[in-house]
């Protein structure tokens, strides 16, 4: 689901360090990460709370001690549920700093080209310990700390390559010829469209279209459309003037009860809980 409009455009400035480190503490019932993708490699280490992470549309619940691996070019976002969360982020470019030798380029390039991937959710104390060491090195900045950071990242990648290559990963086919369909859906997802109507419009059998769409996006067509509708409804519900029914119907849902169930399943909290924490009062 690596659509151009979701690509992160702001470059990460590393300075003299080969890695960029962040620590976040989003509140309960909040969007921790907006939907986007990038070509760099990213690791999330969960310290407190539960983070609901979506990777190419598939949901994972990350608990304290878990490590979330965001492979290059994977669309991702994240939400908190009923508790605040504390997590750390380690980001780096796979080949710029770590792929200058022939052996590292040979090992790492498949991950950058999406012909291989690491497992998305891992519980391994060794990875957390390495993350702790990386943050400690960056904080103290001893002489030669940039080289120390590179060594620690190499150790982390070594563990991932040795134990956590995703053996079920299948490289998605090129999506260029599907871009017209994705654009059409993005422009019309609030309308009464379906797998049948879209496949007919673009000259596919519905069965082939559904298989091809899932291969490109990781989702079935109506799952993809449902996510777009929920995201739009969530934006509408930030305004106190928007009722639940108006938000649901205007985004393409034909049943309020179904919308409420989908919202809870997607975000981990109810519409009422979301409105209580995010709705802005209408101006006088």
DSSP 30-85: SEEEEEEB-SSEEEEEEEES-EEEEETTEEEEE-TTEEEEE-TT--EEEEE-SS--
For residue 98, the model assigns a pLDDT of 57
pLDDT tens per residue, the chain (284 residues)? 444 456 676 777 787 888 999 999 999 989 899 888 888 899 999 999 999 999 987 889 999 999 999 998 888 999 998 888 999 999 998 776 555 677 777 888 888 777 889 999 999 999 999 999 999 999 999 888 989 999 999 999 999 999 999 987 766 555 556 778 888 999 999 999 999 999 888 888 888 888 888 877 778 899 999 999 998 998 898 887 889 999 999 999 999 999 999 999 888 889 988 888 876 544 44
| CB-CB contact of 21 with 138 (8 Å) | yes
Distance CA 74, CA 177 (A): 19
User: Nearest Cα to 100, choosing from 38, 137, 150?
Assistant: 150
| CB-CB contact of 145 with 137 (8 Å) | yes
What is this structure's pTM?
0.66
């Amino acid at each position: 689901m690596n659509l151009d409009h979701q690509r992160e455009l702001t470059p990460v400035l590393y300075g003299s360090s080969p890695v960029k480190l962040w620590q976040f503490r989003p509140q309960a019932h909040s969007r921790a990460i907006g939907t986007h993708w990038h070509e760099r490699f990213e690791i999330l280490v969960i310290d407190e709370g539960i983070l609901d992470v979506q990777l190419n549309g598939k949901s994972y619940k990350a608990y304290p001690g878990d490590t979330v691996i965001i492979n290059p070019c994977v669309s991702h976002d994240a939400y908190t549920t009923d508790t605040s969360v504390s997590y750390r982020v380690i980001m780096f470019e796979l080949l710029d700093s770590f792929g200058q030798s022939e052996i590292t380029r040979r090992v790492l390039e498949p991950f950058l080209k999406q012909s291989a991937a690491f497992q998305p959710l891992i519980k391994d104390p060794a990875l957390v310990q390495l993350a702790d060491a990386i943050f400690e090195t960056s904080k103290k900045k001893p002489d030669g700390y940039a080289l120390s950071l590179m060594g620690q990242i190499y150790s982390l990648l070594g563990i991932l390559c040795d134990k956590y290559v995703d053996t079920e990963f299948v490289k998605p086919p090129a999506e260029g010829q599907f871009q017209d369909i994705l654009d059409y859906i993005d422009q019309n997802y609030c309308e009464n469209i379906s797998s049948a109507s879209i496949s007919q419009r673009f000259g596919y059998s519905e069965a082939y279209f559904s298989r091809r769409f899932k291969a490109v996006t990781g989702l079935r067509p109506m799952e993809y459309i449902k996510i777009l509708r929920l995201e739009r409804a969530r934006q509408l519900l930030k305004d106190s003037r928007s009722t639940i029914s108006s938000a649901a119907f205007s985004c393409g849902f034909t049943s309020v009860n179904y919308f409420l169930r989908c919202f809870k399943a997607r975000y981990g909290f109810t519409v009422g809980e979301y409105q209580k924490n995010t709705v802005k009062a209408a101006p006088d």
